[in-house]
């Protein structure tokens, strides 16, 4: 389930309770719901329920601490200086006399310094110009693998269709990459980073990745080069390529690295530092706002068995939507992910099967009157979700005139239904087939909730866009499927070390005679 790498849902049939698990069991009584809205459930008998607890620790990021974070108000001279530097950097990109090599390195530095969002038009114009004369550029730089790979990475990263054949000039008559590249570390690094923008079936880029990884590792092992900075670049790239990094964290590191570059542009560095600090202040203000919301909501207090992961949920959102203009999206996503975490724990840890059925039906009907049929701890959870979701839909309706509530409500309903399926599997000690697990798991991963919010809160949303979102697009389904597989594989590796029970994914692996242990 969402953001739940280290806490898989155990399967009771083979569960081994250990001291490390620290599972507490509390004997409680479930009363049958009242008659009326749920006649199908009115004959539930009073029975004892074993309440589990994963013993989650309180968050170290308390509201008082978050509210104490200092926010430096923008000083007029800094704002004025930012405007001046922005104009200067824009002129650098537009400079027509700059050679292609320098312009590519400038654009790459601007993006890694985290200020590319200021110059989207200028960068697009420069890349458009390069793409229009791509064949000429290939001839001019045919022996420069570093520049060709950088050109390929920037063009493809901005959506230009560039063939992998651009690298054929660096292959020998046998179709392998030329051996003389093995000692060109800067070119190897550039080609390595470009290879991570491959799409399915691009054998040349897959070969480039294998070729560069092999020789870059050899460089780390065998090279007597005293260039520690280059060795650090290589080691960090092999650990995590640029295409996989969280952009804002990389920006913070790259600012320090760029400052040490011999060809560093002082005005570019100054602008990056001022902008980084300004954006950090934006994040602090947002975090204070959403922390007050979460504290006043009271779920952290009313659902003591649940994880309090507000800070993690906010930083998760910053990781892929860092631009200041996306403030509304970040706040909405943080709230949505906080509800996902809480509801996940209701289904995974605390709720009885009968209670979970009632909660799922309440979310499906989306009626505030249904809270009377729910246990007390579920009432505040449902009402908080109901009000927060309606508030977001109201703001969009007020601003744009579109009703996004049916789409958000549908996403929450599908999530709860998927959670309920897994709860029933758990209750019956049923191990689903891999196909069953994936069909349900892409929904229980909650990716469709996050992406529904992203879609419905898009700045340029139109009614036609909403009409196309009646059913989840393939992009939503398959990205959620990938997240599910990565999540289950991650929990399986953790379980191998902790001796706890694995996910359905691991159980399916073992059921066919293979083990991850």
Whether 326 and 189 share a structural domain:
no
Buried b (16+ CB within 10 A) or exposed e, 352-376: bebbbbbbbbbbbebeeebbebbbe
CB distance 476 to 448 below 8 Å? yes
CB distance 113 to 272 below 8 Å? yes
Q: Which domain holds residue 37?
A: 12-56+305-511
C-alpha–C-alpha distance, residues 82 and 85, integer Å: 5
Whether 254 and 322 share a structural domain:
no
pLDDT, position 77:
80
Whether 366 and 411 share a structural domain:
yes
Whether 311 and 409 share a structural domain:
yes
pLDDT, position 509:
55
Q: Report CA-CA distances (Å) from 3 to 295, 421, 444, 490, 493.
A: 21, 19, 11, 11, 16
Q: Report CA-CA distances (Å) from 447 to 25, 107, 368, 436.
A: 31, 32, 26, 18
pLDDT, position 491:
66
CB distance 488 to 507 below 8 Å? no
pLDDT, position 499:
40
Number of domains in the chain: 2
pLDDT, position 226:
63
CB distance 78 to 274 below 8 Å? yes
CATH number at 83 reads 1.50.10.130
Tell me, yes or no, whether 209 lies in a domain. yes
pLDDT, position 471:
86
Tell me, yes or no, whether 297 lies in a domain. no
Whether 48 and 120 share a structural domain:
no
C-alpha–C-alpha distance, residues 477 and 468, integer Å: 15
C-alpha–C-alpha distance, residues 134 and 125, integer Å: 14
Q: Which letter does DSSP use for residue 179 in this model?
A: G
pLDDT, position 506:
57
Whether 248 and 339 share a structural domain:
no
**Model pLDDT for residues 469-478, shown as the tens digit of each residue:** 888 999 999 9
Neighbouring CB atoms inside 10 A of 270's CB total 16
Spatial CA neighbour of 116 closest among 276, 260, 245? 276
Extract the residue ranges of the chain whose pLDDT is less than 70. Answer: 1-49, 53, 74, 223-226, 491-517
Tell me, yes or no, whether 173 lies in a domain. yes
Q: Is the pTM here over 0.75, yes or no?
A: yes
Unique residue bearing structure tokens 């289950």: 488
Whether 32 and 98 share a structural domain:
no
Unique residue bearing structure tokens 């009632």: 358
CB distance 504 to 11 below 8 Å? yes
Chain centroid to Cα 318, Å, comes to: 9
């Amino acid at each position: 389930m969402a953001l739940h790498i280290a806490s898989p849902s155990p399967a009771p049939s083979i569960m081994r309770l250990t001291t490390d698990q620290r599972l507490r069991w509390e004997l409680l009584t479930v009363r049958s719901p009242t008659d009326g809205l749920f006649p199908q459930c009115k004959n539930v008998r009073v029975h004892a329920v074993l309440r589990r607890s994963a013993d989650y620790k309180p968050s170290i990021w308390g509201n008082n601490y978050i509210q104490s974070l200092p926010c430096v108000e923008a000083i007029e001279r800094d704002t004025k200086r930012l405007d001046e530097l922005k104009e200067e950097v824009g002129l650098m990109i537009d400079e027509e006399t700059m050679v292609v090599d320098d312009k590519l390195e400038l654009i790459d530095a601007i993006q890694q310094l985290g200020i590319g969002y200021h110059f989207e038009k200028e960068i697009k114009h420069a890349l458009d110009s390069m793409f229009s004369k791509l064949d000429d550029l290939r001839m001019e730089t045919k022996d420069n693998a570093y520049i060709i790979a950088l050109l390929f990475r920037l063009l493809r990263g901005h959506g230009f269709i560039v063939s992998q054949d651009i690298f054929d000039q660096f292959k020998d008559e046998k179709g392998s990459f030329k051996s003389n590249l093995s000692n060109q570390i800067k070119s190897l690094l550039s080609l390595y980073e470009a290879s991570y923008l491959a799409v399915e079936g691009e054998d040349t880029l897959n070969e480039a990745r294998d070729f560069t990884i092999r020789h870059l590792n050899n460089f780390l092992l065998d090279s007597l080069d005293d260039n520690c900075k280059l060795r650090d670049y290589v080691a960090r790239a092999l650990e995590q390529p640029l295409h996989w990094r969280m952009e804002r964290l990389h920006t913070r590191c790259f600012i320090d690295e760029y400052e040490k570059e011999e060809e560093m542009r002082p005005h570019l560095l100054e602008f990056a530092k001022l902008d980084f600090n300004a954006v950090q202040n934006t994040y602090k203000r947002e975090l204070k706002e959403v922390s007050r919301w979460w504290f006043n909501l009271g779920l952290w207090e009313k659902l003591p068995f649940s994880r309090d992961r507000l800070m993690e949920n906010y930083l998760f959102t910053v990781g892929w939507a860092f631009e200041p203009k996306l403030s509304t999206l970040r706040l909405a996503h943080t709230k949505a992910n906080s509800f996902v975490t809480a509801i996940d724990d209701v289904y995974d840890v605390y709720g009885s099967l009968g209670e979970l059925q009632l909660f799922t039906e309440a979310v499906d009907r989306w009626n505030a009157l249904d809270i009377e049929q729910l246990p007390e701890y579920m009432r505040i959870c449902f009402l908080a979700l109901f009000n927060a979701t309606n508030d977001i839909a109201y703001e969009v309706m007020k601003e744009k005139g579109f009703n996004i509530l049916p789409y958000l409500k549908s996403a929450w309903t599908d999530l709860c239904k998927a959670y309920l399926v897994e709860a029933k599997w758990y209750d019956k000690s049923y191990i689903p087939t891999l196909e069953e697990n994936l069909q349900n798991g892409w929904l229980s991963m909650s990716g469709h909730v996050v992406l529904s919010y992203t879609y419905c809160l898009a700045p340029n949303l139109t009614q036609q866009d909403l009409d196309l979102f009646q059913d989840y697009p393939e992009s939503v389904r398959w990205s959620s499927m990938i997240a599910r597989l990565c999540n289950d594989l991650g929990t399986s590796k953790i379980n191998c070390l902790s001796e706890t029970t694995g996910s359905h994914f691991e159980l399916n692996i073992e059921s066919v005679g293979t083990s991850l242990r």
